[in-house]
Amino acid sequence: KVGCEFDRIVVCGGDGMFHEAVNGWFRSRSMAPLAYIPSGTVNDFANTHNIPKNDVETAAKIASDGMIDLIDAGLFNDTYFSYVAAFGFATSTAYDTPQTKKRKLGTLAYVLHALEIVDFTHWENNCVSTQIEYEGGMIEGNFLYGQISSSRYVGGMDAFTKGRYDLKDGLLEGVFIRQPMNLSELNSIIASIAKSDIENNPLIVPVQSPWFEFDGESIAWTLDGEYGGEVPHAKIQVVEQQLKVVLPKEEE
């Protein structure tokens, strides 16, 4: 049981590094909480939990003297994730974008790399066909993008989660974007995302559920910004208030 003899386990790196630490932590059954000093490009986990990403000294102080808390995590088949599982349009840019671009351009590097690999002339080439079951319902069809998260920020933005996320409610937030059939539909999707108005667009399906199950064609997944494998079947479920982390102390 690696780490069990320590009071705290401190991780320094990006979201991908923290993802690896979370999986090691769950499998070791360590009782020591995970602390995080962010030094990656996007740092969604740190942004969600107000851990400063440009102030190593303050982040280190939080790691050593912060508040210990239990928050929700996710389980993708047999792999844990700290905040998001995603598929579809441009999700591979999180792990395909060269490190040199990330260091020079930050979040913009992901956008530029996405534009380089997407086939804008045939949207169907960027979509996957799947059936999605969740508590109380089911949807199916061709989807441009999908994410299941327990986080405020995903990819540096909160357009899909604003006003919906709760890190301790035992629910995951799902958002699924259907394949646009023409430029007008694509523009309506972009406009809804820009305005954080995903509830009123029939092409965007927001769902909250403790579990999701996917069946259909083989889908390549991204877990916390890392390649999560390509599988035809995936079961994703919440791991309710079992991830022990060190967070900034609440202001009195």
End-to-end CA distance of the chain: 36
Confidence of residue 83 (pLDDT cuts 50, 70, 90): very high
Q: Domain boundaries in the chain? A: 9-72+241-247, 79-239
Contacts of 168 (CB under 8 A, 6+ apart): 70, 71, 72, 240, 241
Q: Which class is 9-72+241-247 in CATH? A: alpha beta
Bridge partner residues of 216 (DSSP)? 130
Q: Which class is 79-239 in CATH? A: mainly beta
Mean pLDDT comparison of 44-48, 69-73, 122-126, highest-scoring range: 69-73
Q: Side chain identity at 182, as an amino acid letter?
A: N
pLDDT (0 to 100) of residue 112: 42
The pTM of the full predicted model, rounded to 2 decimals, is 0.84
Q: Calculate the CA dihedral of residues 134, 140, 143, 148 and round it to 10 degrees.
A: 0
pLDDT over threshold 80, residue 63:
yes
pLDDT (0 to 100) of residue 179: 86
Confidence of residue 70 (pLDDT cuts 50, 70, 90): very high
Six-digit token string for 11: 């991780």
Pairing of strands 79-81, 34-38: unpaired
- Over residues 16-40, the mean pLDDT reads 92
- Maximum separation of any 2 CA atoms in the chain, in Å: 58
- Over residues 149-176, the mean pLDDT reads 88
Q: Using an 8 Å Cβ cutoff, are 50 and 63 in contact?
A: no
pLDDT (0 to 100) of residue 109: 40
